[in-house]
Amino acid sequence: MPEVGPRASHGTGRPLLHRHLRRLEAAGLVTGTLEVAEDGKTVKYYDVTPFFHELTPRVVAQAAATLTDTTETDRTTGRSAKEEAK
């Protein structure tokens, strides 16, 4: 597994990284394990949880049906949802 820590060059700050790791752990996509390092500090290591998801045309069609077209122009304002968000 690639290094994830203060020396890693992934461009993400530590607080944001830990927030995402906690969310991934809550979703069951990673598991965290606490270990005591040589210096006595507690360190949490993460591993990816094995999973399987079959992507079929039916699954893609069901997912596509839930998408919202944000480029459609609003009839009352004449602006798209993307323009309204700006």
| Domain boundaries along the sequence of the chain | 14-85
C-alpha span between 48 and 35 (Å, rounded):
17
Q: Which of 54, 48, 1 is nearest to 24 (CA)?
A: 48
pLDDT value of position 14: 87
The sign of the dihedral angle between the CA atoms of 33, 36, 37, 41 is positive
C-alpha span between 70 and 77 (Å, rounded):
14
Read off the pTM: 0.49
For residue 58, CA distances in Å to 29, 36, 49, 61, 66 come to: 24, 47, 25, 5, 13
Summarize pLDDT for 7-49 with one digit per residue, the tens: 555 667 889 999 999 999 999 999 999 999 999 999 999 999 9
